[in-house]
Amino acid sequence: MSAPETSTPSAARVQPSIARARTGRIATSTAIHTVLFGYTIIALFPVVLVLLNSFKTKRAIFGDPLGLPFGKTFSAIGYLDVLHKGDFATYFTNSFVVTVVALFLIVLLGAAAAHALAEYRFPGNGFLGVYLIIGIMVPIRLGTVAILQMMVQLHLVNTLTALILVYTAQGLPVAVFILTEFMRTLSRDIKDSARIDGLSEYRIFFEVVLPLIRPVLATVAVFSMIPIWNDLWFPLILAPGEGTRTVTLGVQQFIGQYTVNWNAVLAALTLAIVPVLVLYAFFSRQLIRGITSGAVKG
């Protein structure tokens, strides 16, 4: 029934039109890639420029900003300055501690609350669900005056604990929102089967639910990390002391102090940028999933 694969007379006539269609497609595709590539250059250029020049001599920074750091133009003087004049090791440790602890709390407490909202029917479930996600729309910064007063009373000013508490409160609404949506899609049967096996509700949460939603937890963590790591407002207000500065605040203060030392400024900026880029290289997939899941569900 099926014909052999030889070309029929009509196949010859087909060729020109296919060729025409193909050139049209190539033209369209070239145009698309020109736009996308062009904008990618715009997106990357400033960052690349700073990274490159942070490794150059002062003369090369001004004489040939676009050149690569190579041979005579190479210099790490900026980094030496930064290491001597600023306490970047402390800043990084602070940012790291604040971010990791806050993320741990956001993910764990957020997942527990989301599990309760998605799994059990109890009076006030609907209200609490709405209450917990109001924070997505109302920025926590608006309560800064009261937060500072409260931290003063709790003797938490200039401690990392203050930042951790505020960031946990700030991150919970989005985490609860995404996790509740996701947990509602989990099969009820698997939890019921765990109940029949005699697991307590706590063990069901830790041993059945959490492992099932691990990928989503990663997404939520990566997604919540960015605003915490990058924030300037709360470190500036709640923990501006030398010993509790985060990287963002540290860089900001450092640059304010050494504006004329271009090598040091560029090196400080690079130090702030690179860790984020490295993390992004590893976690871009989770991050993008987090953003898009919000778009599809929200």
Partner 1 sequence: MTDIAPTGTPAKPDETARAPRRKMRLHIAVFLAPAVLIYTLFSIYPLIESLRLSLQSSVPGGEADYVGLANYAKLFFDPLWADQFLNALKNNVVMFCTIMVVQNPIGLVLAALLSLPKVRFTGTYRTLLFMPTLLSVVIIGFVWQLILSPLWGVTDGFLRAIGLAHAYKPWLGLEGSALFTLSMISVWQYVGVPMMLIYAALLSIPDELIDAARIDGLRGWAIFWKVKLPLILPTLGLVGILTYIGNFTVSFDLIYAVQGALAGPNFSTDVMGTFLFRTFFGQQTQLGDPHMGATVASVLFFIILAGVSVYLLAVQRRLQRYEM
Partner 2 sequence: MAQLSLSAVRKAYDKHVVIPGADLEIADGEFVVFVGPSGCGKSTLLRMIAGLEEITGGDVRIDGQRINELGPADRGIAMVFQSYALYPHKDVYGNMAFALKHAGVDKAVIEERVSKAAAILGLEPLLKRRPKQLSGGQRQRVAIGRAIVRDPKIFLFDEPLSNLDAALRVQMRVEILRLHQRLKSTMIYVTHDQVEAMTLADRIVVLHGGRIEQVGTPMELYHHPANLFVAGFIGSPKMNILAGTVEAASADNATVRLAAGASISVPVGASPAPGAKVSFGVRPEHLAIADAASASITGTAQVVERLGGETLVHVELADGATLVVKTDGECLARVGDIVGVTAQGAHCHLFDEAGLCLPKAEKHVLAV
Interface with partner 2 (CB under 8 A): 1-5, 7-8, 10-11, 14, 17, 21
Q: Is 201 in the site for partner 1 (CB under 8 A)?
A: yes
Residue 273 found at the interface with partner 1 (CB under 8 A): yes
Which of 219, 258, 174 lies closest to 266 in space, CA to CA?
Answer: 258
Among 82, 160, 216, 265, binds partner 1 (CB under 8 A): 265
Q: What is the closest distance, in whole angstroms, from the C-beta atom of residue 84 to partner 1 in the complex?
A: 20
The partner in contact with residue 291, picked from partner 2, partner 1, none with C-beta cut-offs of 5 to 8 angstroms by kind, is partner 1
Number of residues that bind partner 1 (CB under 8 A): 94
Q: Per rule CB under 8 A, is residue 130 in the interface with partner 1? A: no
Give the closest residue to 129 by CA, choosing from 119, 138, 139.
119
Q: Contacting partner 1 (CB under 8 A), which of 57, 170, 180, 244? A: 170
**Contact in structure between 68 and 52 (CB atoms under 8 Å):** yes
Range in contact with partner 1 (rule: CB under 8 A) among 15-23, 79-87, 213-221, 250-258: 250-258
- Among partner 2, partner 1, none, partner that 89 touches (CB below 5 to 8 angstroms by kind): none
The binding track of 90-129 with respect to partner 1, each residue x by CB under 8 A or -, is: ---------------x---xx-xx-xxx--xxx-----x-
- The least distance separating partner 2 from the CB of residue 14, rounded to whole angstroms, comes to 7
